[in-house]
Amino acid sequence: MDKEHTPSLPTELLVAIFTILMPRKFNIAQSCDILSASLVCRQWYTVVCSIVDVTERIRFLITQFRLYNLEDYGRLYNLLMESHRSGVGYERLVKSIRIHAVEISKLDDENQRLCANHIGSMIRLSPNLTELRVEVEKMQPFFSVFLRVNLSNIRRLFIRQNHVSLAVKLVQSMPFLEELDLDHTEMTSDLMNVLNTRLTTLVVRCIDLSQFHRCLVNLSNLRSINIITHMVSYGKLAEAIAKNCPGLQEFTYTIPLMPVDSRGTDSIALNHIIDKCKQLVKLNINNVPRITKKFMFYAMQNALQLHHLSISTTLSSVAADLRMNQSNLQLLILDVGLSNEELLHILTKCPHLHTMQFIQQSPANTNILRNHGFTQCYHGCWKRNHDLNWVSKSHSIPSHLLPK
């Protein structure tokens, strides 16, 4: 940045010019041009910062916007490099880099390597980088780049597509990795062997997880597990989680589509997690067959720290045990109708419950909810009146829109 530059235009005129040049819709080229202009001199930097949230714009460019071609990566690299040279320090604002380059696979080998080198240079320039999101189809150009850069500061890693060998290399190069998100990446023995004990959050989207329970032996520090799979038999997995992850706080198990064959594992297998994971706060079960109301009440009764319970599946009609003590539950989401007795029992035993959301509901249920201070916010969602009053004060909702 030129510290001795003498302004040749009034600040008011520069503000008007840069305001006109600001893209109406988000555009990578124009956004990079505006940010590059801020590096010319102190006056231009002050003007640009007055009309653009520089921090949010840079983070959005690198982490949210999908970059499709070599020119996009080149512009971002040049911006960070010039900022580094001028001492402005835009590169220090980068905490996450998203590599989403569908069009990279269409480039020739030389341009693919050039694009990969741009990404590697951005990683080197960003001392505060802690998150890496890899969402590309063709990974060969990136292998050598990732092996040359220092990834020891990365705490969160997201990998999409089935790049097992890359996942293994990346995890090995990230000794302080805490959060790992694997999307359509096969859980091979090589990958499971490199998962380290520092992991606290694990998200896995995989069709076959029949051997996944074996890797949990080394993951005793896990606090959150989110599994999306077509596997309906989860008995071994539930037992392994209960045995090896006693500090688990959030557990989500989702089957994308409700299976036609509902023979699966009985929900009693999930009781192991309820019994052993005493710090469980959030439990989500989606499209999993053979989940019973008995399990729902068992979770409320025995998961003493449970605040969030969501069961989006067709509950079995097995009779529920209503001998439940007081629960700390605060939010309940159900895709099932409750009898009057069951609903009354929940409302009586869950004094901290402030939100209920469910689809199937009878008029009798509606009256019971209203009598216990709940008001319908939108279809299927009910909140206690005091929560709505709090929302109105915080967000200035007109009084005539609030329930009477």
pLDDT in tens, 346-360: 888 898 999 998 776
Which residue type does 207 have?
I
Rounded to whole angstroms, the Cα distance separating 109 from 115 reads 10
pLDDT over threshold 50, residue 400:
no
What pLDDT is stored for residue 233 in this prediction?
78
What pLDDT is stored for residue 399 in this prediction?
42
Burial class (CB in 10 A: 0-12, 13-18, 19+), 315: buried
Do 225 and 245 touch, CB atoms closer than 8 A? yes
User: Could you tell me which residues are beta bridge partners of residue 309?
Assistant: 283, 332
pLDDT in tens, 278-302: 999 999 998 888 788 888 888 998 9
Which residue type does 196 have?
N
Do 157 and 194 touch, CB atoms closer than 8 A? no
User: Could you tell me which residues are beta bridge partners of residue 204?
Assistant: 182, 227
pLDDT band with cut points at 50, 70 and 90 for residue 394: very low
Question: Which comes out higher in pLDDT, residue 68 or 293?
Answer: 293
Which residue blocks in 254-354 are alpha helix, DSSP H? 271-276, 293-302, 340-349
3-state secondary structure of 293: helix
Instruction: Give percent of the chain with pLDDT exceeding 90.
Output: 19
Identify the residue whose tokens are 């916010």.
Answer: 377
What pLDDT is stored for residue 392 in this prediction?
33
pLDDT in tens, 109-158: 777 778 888 888 888 999 999 998 887 666 666 777 777 888 889 999 98
- pTM, whole model, 2 decimals? 0.80
Rounded to whole angstroms, the Cα distance separating 136 from 106 reads 12
Rounded to whole angstroms, the Cα distance separating 175 from 360 reads 48
Question: Which comes out higher in pLDDT, residue 330 or 112?
Answer: 330
Locate the domains of the chain by residue range.
307-404
Rounded to whole angstroms, the Cα distance separating 206 from 160 reads 11
Nearest alpha-carbon partner for 265 in 239, 296, 232: 232
